[in-house]
Amino acid sequence: MISWINGEIVEFWQTNQKFFVLVNCQGLGYEIQILETFFLKLKTNQISSKNIILWIKHIKKEDSDLLFGFTSKDQKKFFIEILSIRGVGSQIGMGILNKFSINEVINAIKTQNKKLISSVPGIGQKMSDRLILELKNKYKGEILFDEEKSKDELEIKDSEINKMMEDLQLTLQSLNYKNKEIRTILPILIKEGDHLAKKENNLSFEKLLKLAMNYLDKDSSNIAR
């Protein structure tokens, strides 16, 4: 059983709506299916290091071994939860996470938004009903990001900054920062990101990531004292 992998990226590619990365780990090449968000980061050179860490879900079949890689443990856990539902296969699970964030899916489950769930290719009305029915109790007590803050406080008008914030959360999770800590600083980053975008007219992901890590490391040192 492979739980996670730390290795060097050899190459990455897209086949239809599937995204893959080949990772060299101690002389062995592992072909891993990844999410589109991570693939786009690789494609646009948003990831500077060739060495990556991915959380792996290993699915063994009669004629093949499939590896699915995620940048955070939460993504992997949610993927496994989806696969536990009767009739839901790995590609539908990846399709859900390719199209929506975990919070968006949980919100749809809690509000019984069947239209959103069934918008994922391969999910019909019956499967949408099953997903909502079987997952709603598991996430009944989940405190979601957009429920913790007021709508006005977290509204992001700039779609580019909105996309950066989503990527930022995934990156910080992969660096082992806690979700609760990340959610705490997001309103600050949104405001500062909007300010920097207007001031410099060129807000980069790297600047946002550095700013976020400064806040998180500062909070951690204060707690330690």
Task: Tell me the pLDDT tens digit for each residue of 84-100.
Answer: 988 899 999 999 999 88
115 and 84, same domain (yes or no): yes
157 and 220, same domain (yes or no): yes
Crossing angle of helices 159-174/73-83, nearest 10°? 90
Beta-carbon contacts of 171 under 8 Å, excluding residues fewer than 6 positions away, are 71, 209
pLDDT of residue 160: 63
**Is 86 within the bounds of a domain?**
yes
Structurally, how many domains does the chain consist of? 3
d(CA 89, CA 83): 6
Output the pTM of the full model. 0.63
Please say if the pLDDT value at position 154 is more than 50: no
The CA angle 222-224-225, to the nearest 5 degrees, is 65
The Cβ of residue 119 has, within 10 Å, a number of other Cβ atoms equal to 13
**Is 140 within the bounds of a domain?**
no
Worst-scoring range by mean pLDDT, 26-30, 76-80, 112-116, 141-145?
A: 141-145
122 and 185, same domain (yes or no): no
169 and 152, same domain (yes or no): yes
Worst-scoring range by mean pLDDT, 20-24, 132-136, 207-211?
A: 207-211
Q: What CATH number does the domain containing 38 carry?
A: 2.40.50.140
Q: 46: which DSSP letter? A: -
The CA angle 171-83-73, to the nearest 5 degrees, is 25
Asked if residue 33 lies in contact with residue 69, where contact means CB atoms within 8 angstroms, the answer is yes
Crossing angle of helices 205-224/179-200, nearest 10°? 140
The CA angle 204-153-222, to the nearest 5 degrees, is 70
100 and 113, same domain (yes or no): yes
Burial 213-222 (b: 16+ CB within 10 A, else e): eebbeeeeee
The CA angle 76-114-81, to the nearest 5 degrees, is 20
In this structure, which amino acid lies at residue 39?
F
Q: What phi and psi values does residue 11 have, to the nearest 5 degrees?
A: -165, 165
The Cβ of residue 127 has, within 10 Å, a number of other Cβ atoms equal to 18
pLDDT of residue 140: 64
161 and 205, same domain (yes or no): yes
Higher pLDDT, 92 or 220: 92
Query: Where a domain ends, among 48, 70, 92?
Result: 70
Q: What phi and psi values does residue 163 have, to the nearest 5 degrees?
A: -65, -40
Query: Where a domain ends, among 135, 159, 184?
Result: 135
32 and 92, same domain (yes or no): no
d(CA 195, CA 199): 6
Q: What phi and psi values does residue 203 have, to the nearest 5 degrees?
A: -85, 125
103 and 85, same domain (yes or no): yes
Pairing mode, if any, of strands 18-25 and 4-15? antiparallel
Q: What domain range includes position 186?
A: 145-224
157 and 113, same domain (yes or no): no
